[in-house]
Amino acid sequence: MNGLYHTSEYIEFTKEYLDALQSTIATYGLPWTAGETPFYGGYLRTELGFLGIRSAVDERRLKHLQSSLNSRQYETNIKSFYSAVPARVDWRKHALQNNHDEHNWVTPVKFQGVCASCVAFAVIATMEASVRIHAQTPYDADPTAFPLLSEGQLFFDGAEKACWLGWHRSEALRYTNQIGIIPSDLYPYEAYNQSFPFDRNNLPNLTVVKQWHRINSIVCMKEWLGTRGPVYAELSCFGDFLLYREGVYSHVLRDDFDEDSIPHAVCVIGYDDEKKVVRVYENGTIKTYSGAWLCKNSFGPQWGEDGYCWIGYSECGINSDMWGIERFEMINGVSG
């Protein structure tokens, strides 16, 4: 499908694209701003799934992988939810239930580069924060207590050199469950296809997830985020999202930006029920509602709000389902 600033294969982030996007945002009073990001001045090849989730899926294979995961549906008591979960959560300044001191449990934002590895980055971001919460050791209190984990291992060993193809969530979650992840300083990430030089049967300092949980309702997602920690999520990414600078994002559904979406993965670290969201439909109809997810992205700290973004509830399919970590088998080589 073609729009004013792109073809079926490319989205070009030119000055004209940015000017038109900023004008549309201002015209409709959207509560977010666009600007120059690491993507500005470049282009996106939409047919390659650059951001990182494979769109062509063998359903039977995925069904088998799904059943092999040590996971279950997470359920909650809706009546107790409203009294137990606050109106806003941000794990960069959050207090555990048994401690009133607020801390940052989230590790630094990273950059996936020109490689379709977002699944690995979102999974690792979820694991790193969950390790801290499990051990009750916030990142701001002791950044070196636990190592950062290797996106390079997860992606290049698990997905087998798929920089131009992306990866499936089910395979990534299974890898963390069956193989585990070594520290990133043992195998640093580089944004090009690499060979993994380690023996899978003799990996050092492993962090292994014991159990992932699928969460598929907003109520349960907020309950999990409010009490347990960040989660893995996926969304449909459009060109305007790549030029996001701040505010609460919603896709501009206008002819000039009528682009094909690309699947993308992020780590959701919080939410705010009072954030204003404005949705503009193709016919120009405007609807306003409240509530947004706070996401840690993998576009580096020069994108968005220091690498983070707010995206409205239900925007771009972000809350179709999310995945959280219940417990670990092993953390940095020590039984969890």
Print the domain residue range for 94: 10-335
E runs forming strands in 6-137: 10-12, 32-34, 43-45, 71-73, 88-90
Q: Residue 272 forms beta bridges with which residues? A: 88, 292
Q: Total domain count for the chain?
A: 1
Query: What per-residue confidence (pLDDT) applies to 58?
Result: 38
Question: In the chain, what percentage of residues exceed pLDDT 70?
Answer: 82
- Tens digit of pLDDT for each residue in 273-314? 999 999 888 777 899 999 999 999 999 999 999 999 999 998
- Tens digit of pLDDT for each residue in 102-151? 999 999 999 999 899 999 999 999 999 999 999 999 999 999 999 999 99
Backbone torsions φ then ψ of 96, nearest 5 degrees = -70, 160
Confidence of residue 239 (pLDDT cuts 50, 70, 90): confident
User: Can you say how many angstroms the Cα of residue 315 is from the centroid of all Cα atoms in its chain?
Assistant: 14
Query: What per-residue confidence (pLDDT) applies to 68?
Result: 39
Query: What per-residue confidence (pLDDT) applies to 6?
Result: 39
Backbone torsions φ then ψ of 319, nearest 5 degrees = -105, 35
Query: What per-residue confidence (pLDDT) applies to 261?
Result: 77
Mean pLDDT of 41-46: 67
286 is a domain residue: yes
5 is a domain residue: no
4 is a domain residue: no
Query: What per-residue confidence (pLDDT) applies to 44?
Result: 66
Q: Residue 3 forms beta bridges with which residues? A: 6
218 is a domain residue: yes
Mean pLDDT of 159-175: 90
184 is a domain residue: yes
8 A C-beta contact, residue 227 and residue 145: no
2 is a domain residue: no
CATH of the domain at 37: 3.90.70.10
- Tens digit of pLDDT for each residue in 194-212? 899 999 999 999 999 999 9
